[in-house]
Structure formats: C-alpha cells, structure tokens
C-alpha cells in the first residue's frame, strides 16, 4: 500500500493480512546528518510512530505522536533513568520522559519532509530537511509498535540460518552504514586478501574484501558482507537503544555497551575466486539475565554473493519433519516444519571417523547424539571440516571440530553440483 501524497493520507488497516508502509528518509537535523522512519502504527487511526538516528552515533531514538490537519506532531523520548522511568521498583511508567517536540510536514509528492525540533531543556530549535530513500512493510502480526528492535532482527540472526538482507528489507539499517570505517591491516587468506574494518560508533569490526585473485567483480561478495555487517551491528545498536523506554529499557546500566562481550569475533577461514567460508562467534548479553552464546559458520558463493547451505554441498543432507521422518522433494513443499541434517549414513561416517575427546567431554556432551542433531560444516586451509552448530546455552562448550578431510579426498561426500566450487576437482 502506497502513501498518496503524504504520510497523513494513509488510512489505518485493521486486517492482520494487510500491511502498513514505513517510509525511510535521510537528510539533516540542524547541522547533523540523520536517518528517519515514520509510519502509522496498528491500533490508532491518527497515531504516528517512528525512530531517528544521528548518523554520527547510529543510536535509534523513539518518536511517537499524532497527525492532524496536515501536520505530524511528535515527541522524542529522553533516555531513561530509574527516577524518570520507574513508578516503583517493579513497575515502569506508562509515558516516557520527553527530550524534544517535533512538527513535521510531508511534501505533496511524498518525496521530502521538513520540520522543526524543539529541545525542551535548552529551547534550541533545529530544522529538519530530509528526502525519501525507501520504504518497508510491516504487518499487523508484527505487533503494535513496528520499530521495536528485538524480534527477528537480533537473536534470530545469531543462528546459521542464511538469511540475506536486501535494502528493501530495512533501508533504515542500510542507510545507517553510510559512515566512515576504520580499516585494519590486510590479512592474506587462500587466494585473496581481506581486512577487519571497525565501525567506530560501536567499536565492532567485520571483514571486508580487499582483493581476490581472478575476480574482477567483487561487488556481489562485498554486498553480502555489507548486509552481514548490518546484522552484526544490530546487536550493538539494539543494545544501546535500550536506554529508551520505547525500546525495552530495563533498570540496568547499559552505558556504551555494544551488546557483545569482548566485541565478538569474525574470521574468513577460506577464500578462493569461487567460495568463501566465514565464522562468527560471540556472547550477546546487553542487560539480559544471562548471555546468549553463539558460533556460526557460513559458506558463500563469491560470484553471486549468495549463501550455500549444507544440503547444496553434502550428499546425505536431508530434511526431516519434527517426528524425524525423512521428507522427499515433494513432501518438503507441503511440510509445516522442517529440520535439516545428516542422514544416518553420513552421521555414522562422521561418528566412526571423528576425533575422540576426553571421557568427561564425551559423557557430558553426548557428541554422537549431537552429530545427528547439530552437525555443521565449514572450510579451512584446503579442508572440509565437520563441526557442531547452533548449540545453545551451556552446550555451546561442546562446539568442537570433529573431523577434517582434505578437499582432494572429500569428493565422495560432496554433491555433483558443488564440485564447481573447488579447484581440486577441475579437469
């Protein structure tokens, strides 16, 4: 559904199957570059919600208000303190503390917004001038406040699910990346070179490709790494946004946390002109009662920038329903729930050939059972490595490399379609 002329012309949608459009703008607020999102939420015809961020910090600030007679009036939340956001030790206030008041107008063609921001503490007025850069849709089932950042955008991105974000999925997050990074030293790997570039706003680094021998078009793999950086950075930006009541404030001291204990780690373990293997790991906490620990391994087609899942690489990687029944290509299409993993033959092979660990690890982890439920792969130094993936909580300590096979000897385990990714099998 499109805005006709302006935000104010969008009628409230009551059906859960319908969607509201969120419009994303970028421009200036006073002397500062900003990114801004605005939309009507579900539940009130005239209400408006949104968020904005100064590009120099990237920290999202909640906006909420109403539309009336061609104007949008908003209040900008102020960061919480116990004295301003707690009614009692266990009860939050309903209305957040307010930092500033906004008035916003949208051009007749919907392409620009202008307005003013009045700082309540200082009385300073700042001019808003911004242009439309994109949009995204939010469905009613996503909740009454579509800008809350926790749902799929953070913890679900810590798994090995190879979701790839596009600009249209969340232009706001992409636009926040339009900032200068601090490049680290060049690191040679395989037939290429990469470096870890740091976003100084949140002190998190992520790989970027410098060059790959034999590749003239690096745009696809660079585009993949950009969207992975966005996902990686979401941990930090989400954590820092929790200083606001509208973004899930709790009576915890967030300060300048980036959400990841120690900053996490990201490493390219294999790189050729055809294939990249990438490992991410860390511990996400950010005011939660306990940390969420994760290790993920990703395989990516260098030429297309698209991720490869184990079933496209390994023979014997099958889909099962939640009762453990192996699904065929036809029943996969109709299945409600699917779990991918090794068939019995592949699992038995890994179990019989894998590294044996000390007695305590074997007993406490029950590694043979984990091979059947959580087997994963990555590539490193010309080897196919079988490991464990998506382990949660205390079981993350069981994430061991189980079996390394030189790629030249791994052909019996690889699908025919995957052979094109490996120089070892060129004729």
Please give the model's pTM, rounded to 2 decimal places: 0.87
**Last-in-domain residue among 143, 173, 190:** 143
Dist. CA 299–CA 297, nearest whole Å: 7
Claim to verify: residue 59 and residue 85 sit in the same structural domain:
yes
User: SS3 for 355?
Assistant: coil
Q: Specify whether 197 is located in the same domain as 280.
A: yes
Say if residue 156 is in the same domain as residue 302: yes
Out of 124, 143, 162, a domain closes at 143
The sign of the torsion formed by the CA atoms of 25, 31, 33, 36 equals negative
User: Which residues have CB under 8 Å from 332's CB, separation 6+?
Assistant: 319, 338
Residue 343 maps to a domain: yes
The answer to whether residue 2 is domain-embedded is no
22 and 106 part of one domain:
yes
pLDDT the model gives residue 11: 24
Q: Is residue 291 part of a domain?
A: yes
Residues 287, 334 share a domain? no
Among 123, 143, 163, identify where a domain stops: 143
Q: For residue 417, which phi and psi values (nearest 5 degrees)?
A: -65, -25
Question: How many independent structural domains does the chain possess?
Answer: 3
- Say what the pLDDT of residue 155 is: 47
Rg of the chain (C-alpha set): 24
User: CA separation (Å) from 103 to 7, 50, 116, 134?
Assistant: 13, 13, 5, 21
Residue-range definition of the domain harbouring residue 289: 148-308
Residue 1 lies in a domain: no
Same domain as 155, residue 118: no
The answer on 379 and 260 residing in a single domain is: no
- Whether 211 maps to a domain, the answer reads yes
Q: Are residues 290 and 332 in the same domain?
A: no
Other Cβ atoms less than 10 A from the Cβ of 44: the count is 12
Which CATH number is 70's domain given? 2.40.160
Are 264 and 286 contacting, i.e. CB atoms less than 8 angstroms apart? no
Q: 131-146: b or e for each residue (b if 16 or more CB lie within 10 Å)?
A: ebbbbbebebebeeeb
> Which pLDDT score, from 0 to 100, does residue 395 have?
84
Q: Is residue 201 part of a domain?
A: yes
CA distance 120 to 101: 7
Q: Are 275 and 155 in the same domain?
A: yes
Question: What's the confidence (pLDDT) of residue 158?
Answer: 54
What is the reported pLDDT for 108? 81
Nearest alpha carbon to residue 231 among 169, 274, 312, 141? 169
Shared domain check, 188 and 135: no
Q: Are residues 81 and 155 in the same domain?
A: no
- Structural domain contains residue 155: yes
pLDDT in tens, the chain (427 residues): 222 222 222 222 223 334 567 889 999 999 999 999 987 554 455 677 889 999 999 999 999 888 776 678 999 999 999 999 999 888 899 999 999 999 998 888 889 999 999 999 999 999 999 999 998 776 544 443 444 433 334 445 556 667 788 898 889 999 999 999 999 999 999 999 999 999 999 999 999 999 999 999 999 999 999 999 998 988 888 888 889 998 888 777 666 677 787 778 999 999 999 999 999 998 887 766 677 788 899 999 999 999 998 888 999 998 888 888 888 877 877 777 788 899 999 999 999 999 999 999 999 999 999 999 999 999 999 999 999 998 877 788 899 999 999 999 999 999 999 999 999 998 7
| Whether residue 342 is found in the same domain as residue 368 | yes
- Kindly tell me the burial class for residue 240, based on how many C-beta atoms sit within 10 Å of its own C-beta (0-12, 13-18, 19 or more): buried
């Amino acid at each position: 559904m499109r805005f006709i002329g302006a935000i104010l012309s969008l009628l409230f949608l009551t059906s859960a199957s319908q969607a509201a459009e969120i419009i994303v703008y970028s421009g200036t607020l006073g002397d500062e570059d900003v990114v801004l999102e605005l939309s009507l939420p579900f539940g009130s015809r005239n209400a408006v919600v949104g968020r904005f961020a100064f590009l120099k910090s990237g920290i999202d600030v909640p906006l909420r208000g109403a539309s009336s007679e061609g104007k949008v009036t908003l209040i900008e939340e102020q960061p919480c303190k116990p004295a301003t956001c707690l009614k009692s030790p266990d009860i939050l206030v309903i209305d957040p503390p307010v930092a500033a008041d906004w008035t916003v107008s949208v051009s007749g063609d919907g392409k620009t917004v202008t307005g003013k921001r009045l700082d309540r503490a200082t009385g300073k007025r700042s001019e808003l001038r911004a242009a439309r850069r994109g949009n995204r849709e939010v469905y009613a089932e996503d909740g009454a406040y579509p800008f809350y950042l926790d749902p799929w955008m953070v913890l679900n991105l810590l798994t090995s699910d190879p979701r790839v974000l596009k600009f249209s999925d969340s232009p706001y997050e992409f636009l926040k990346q339009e900032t200068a990074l601090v490049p680290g030293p060049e690191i040679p790997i395989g037939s290429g070179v990469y470096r870890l570039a740091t976003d100084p706003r949140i002190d998190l680094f992520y790989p970027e490709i410098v060059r790959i021998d034999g590749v003239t078009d690096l745009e696809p793999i660079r585009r993949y790494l950009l969207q992975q950086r966005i996902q990686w950075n979401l941990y930090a930006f989400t954590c820092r946004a929790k200083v606001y009541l509208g973004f899930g404030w709790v009576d915890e001291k967030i300060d300048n946390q980036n959400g990841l204990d120690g900053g996490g780690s990201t490493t390219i373990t294999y790189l050729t002109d055809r294939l990249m293997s990438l490992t991410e790991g860390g511990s996400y906490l950010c005011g939660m009662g306990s940390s969420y620990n994760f290790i993920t391994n990703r395989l990516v087609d260098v030429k297309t920038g698209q991720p490869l899942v184990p079933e496209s690489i390994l023979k014997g990687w099958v889909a099962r329903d939640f009762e453990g029944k192996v699904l065929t290509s036809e029943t996969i299409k109709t299945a409600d729930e699917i779990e991918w993993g090794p068939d019995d033959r592949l699992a038995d092979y890994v179990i019989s050939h894998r590294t044996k660990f000390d007695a305590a690890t074997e007993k406490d982890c029950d590694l043979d059972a984990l091979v059947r439920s959580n087997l994963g792969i990555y590539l490193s130094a010309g080897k196919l490595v079988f490991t464990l993936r998506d382990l949660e909580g205390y079981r993350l300590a069981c994430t061991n490399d189980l079996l390394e096979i030189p790629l030249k000897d791994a052909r019996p385990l690889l699908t025919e379609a995957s052979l094109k990714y490996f120089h070892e099998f060129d004729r």
